[in-house]
Amino acid sequence: MNFIDKFFAWLLSFDKETLIYAASAIGAGLAMIAGIGPGIGQGYAAGKGAEAVGINPKASKQSTMVMLLGAAVAETSGILSLVVAVILLYGNPIVNVTGASIILAAAAIGAGFSMIAGIGPGIGQGYAAGKATEAVGRRPKLYSTVVRTMFLGQAVAQTTGIYALIIALVLMFANPFIR
């Protein structure tokens, strides 16, 4: 018996519920790795906000507003990851599903792993927010046009975060491997 066989035999020595809860805790932790993206993106937007105010103090209200709006949108992938983590920890639908416990445990871990894809949207949306803040600092009269363009770009950037959420929800609520 090789290591992998021994490892799976050891995993399966636990009762199903314990194995799924342990895997769910791991999945929840993995999901929160996605918070790295919004953190980087929001930091970039805040830095560009400070730079814009330094360049054009008269446009500080507009620059600050764009920075805050853009940073808020950049947080969405972190929020989606938090939702998946909370579901895994407190409303875990996987525990009540019948099926092979190893597949159910893998689904919980996979749901968390999928949310790591939220790193990209968080960084991208923060970058868009930072550049929009910079633009408004230089040309405050273009505020509404810049904000509209920023939001459009951020919406497109969020698509991979939404794909990740869909996969996590499928793994938790409609797993095709358990039927």
Q: 10-residue block means of pLDDT along the chain (179 residues)? A: 88 90 96 97 97 96 97 96 97 90 94 96 97 97 97 96 97 88
pLDDT of residue 74: 96
Q: What is the DSSP letter of 177?
A: T
CATH code (residue 76): 1.20.120.610
Number of domains in the chain: 1
Residue 111 · residue 28 · CB < 8 Å: no
Region of residue 99 (phi > 0: left; psi between -120 and 50: alpha; otherwise: beta): left
Residue 65 · residue 129 · CB < 8 Å: no
pLDDT of residue 178: 83
pLDDT of residue 146: 97
> Considering the domain boundaries, does residue 2 fall inside one?
no
> Considering the domain boundaries, does residue 35 fall inside one?
yes
